[in-house]
Structure 1
Amino acid sequence: MIKRTFLAIAVVLAVISCGQSQSGQSGQKSASLSEADDAKVKVYYFHGRMRCPTCVNIQEVVQNTVNDNFAGNEDVAFLEVDFSDRANAHLADKYEIAWSSVVIATEDEHTNITEQAFAMVMNNPEGLKSLVMAETQKFLDK
C-alpha cells in the first residue's frame, strides 16, 4: 500500500513538473506519422510543448531502446507526438492523452506504460528498456 501511494505521488509530481521547462531534442531517429503508417507496432512518446527533465529522459530511453533493438525492422516505429498540436488531436483522443505518455500500439490494441516509465526512468532505466522491448515484442508476436 505504501509503495503504491509513493508511486502515485511520484507520478503526480512528475506530471506537474512537466510544464516547467523546455524540451531538448534527442537527435535520435523518429519516424513521421506518415512514414510509420505501415509499421505493425508503433511506440508513441506523447508530449506537450514544455517538458521536464524526467519527461526528456523517458523519451531518450524509449527512443534509444526502439532504435537500438528494432533497427531495420519495418514493423516497428518510434513516434514522437506533440499532443498540444491540433494536427495530432486524433491520436491524443484515441489514446486518451492529457500529459507526457508512452503508448505501445497496434491497429487494434495498445498498452499505456506511462506510470511504469515515470517510476523507472531515473532509478531503473534498464528496467524501462526491458519493459519497452517486452511490450513491443508481445505485439510483434501476435
Structure 2
Amino acid sequence: MIRRILPILLLLTACSGNGSRSGDTNAAPETRHTDTRETVQTSATDRVQVLYFHGRKRCATCNAIERLTRETVERLGEKKVGIRILEIGQNEELAEQYGVMWSSLLLVRNDTVKNLTRTAFELAKSRPETFKARLTEAIEHFAE
C-alpha cells in the first residue's frame, strides 16, 4: 500500500509549485489561463466544467494532464463540457474555494465537484489512452 501511495505523494509534491511566482514556467506555449475575474460557472445548459489547477512550474506529467484533458474536452465538444486551465497563484480565490493546494483536476457541475487528480497522475504519462477513456467516462457520467 505504501509502495503505491509514496510515488503519488512524491509526484504531487514535485508538481505542486504551490502557486509560486518565481522562476520560469514549463507551461506549454498555447496555455491560456483563467484569472479570478472570470468566474467558473456552468451555463444555462448545466454543462460540466473541467478545472485543471497547476503550479507555476510544471513537470512532464502536469503538462501531459493538461494536453490530454484538452484533447478529451475538444473531442466531446464545448456544448457538453467546458474547460478552464488555472494557475494556482493567479487564481487563489478559486483554489481556496475548491480546496486546491497543488495540481488538481476537478469536474464541476452546479454545486457538485468530482476530484480526478489521483487518476490523472496515475495514468496521464504511463497510460494516456486509459486516462482519456476514464476522463471521458467520468464527464459523461457526471453530465447525467
TM-score category (smaller protein): 0.7 to 0.9
The equivalences for 1:2-81 within 5 A come to 5-18=2-15, 19=17, 22-25=25-28, 27=30, 33=38, 37-38=42-43, 40-68=47-75, 70-71=76-77, 73-81=78-86
* Cα distance, 1:82–1:131 mapped onto 2, change above 3 Å: same
Does the 8 A contact of 1:21 with 1:51 survive in 2?
Answer: no
The farther-off stretch of 11-20 and 100-109 is: 11-20
Report if the CA contact (8 A) 1:104-1:136 is conserved.
Answer: yes
Deviation at 1:22, TM superposition (A): 2.4
Structure 1 residue 104 displacement after superposition? 0.7
Identity %: 26
CA 108–36 in structure 1, closer or farther in 2 if over 3 Å, else same? closer
RMSD: 2.5
Gaps of 5+ in 1: none
Residues matched between the structures, number: 134
3-state SS, counterpart of residue 96 of structure 1:
coil
Q: 1:84 is matched by which residue type in structure 2?
A: G
Alignment of 1:97-108 (within 5 A): 97-108=100-111
The two structures have a TM-score, normalised by structure 1, of 0.80
Could you say if the C-alpha distance between residues 26 and 42 of structure 1 is closer, same or farther in structure 2, counting changes exceeding 3 Å?
farther
| 8 Å Cα contact 1:102/1:114 also seen in 2 | yes
- Determine the C-alpha separation between the residues in 2 that align with 1:119 and 1:75: 25
Pairwise CA distance, 1:21: 6.9
CA shift, 1:46, in A, is 0.2
